[in-house]
Structure 1
């Protein structure tokens, strides 16, 4: 088994697609008017409009209601990324870069639908002396 994609559902593709392109610097490939993919070497972030839900049985997802998952992007230098994006993400900033107890340096903010995003740079875990 291989995890290859995470999909978010949105009611506003026109707002969320440019947001992800701006924060990642990666263009999103739109495969239809209702579905696009942000492809990286490790995984794909799929973005679907609420209209794509009609192809599934039942009410499977509601946009802008996620409060449990975090979309995580590994970056070379989280402080440099924060400096570049600070003004853009200021309205949705959750936490400026901070070193976590496990050694990662993390920047937390939300996308326009409220999904939590973590840009992080791995670091050496603190030593227990």
Structure 2
């Protein structure tokens, strides 16, 4: 696994986009204030991504306002893997709780599966879809 992104899941996506693009002046690699997803160059091989929080909650079928999970999906740690299905099976065998099974997210251009760490943080394993 290769650490590839930290993805912040924002309630106020537009304000956060302006903060990272205009205040911190991180170059925008992909996205805009309107796209609800953006990637920023932060001077590292790991990138910073910003996503509208509701988009991820909707995609995973979770409740962004669940009072039992106050930190639920405020941040996602993203790892790129060579084989999503094999790594997902390995994590399941190790007892890691699955949040979303491996599938193609064609709108996102990736195959991904989602898990939770022991404290409930969202982890994504993915690889780009082959074109």
TM superposition score normalised by structure 2: 0.43
TM superposition score normalised by structure 1: 0.43
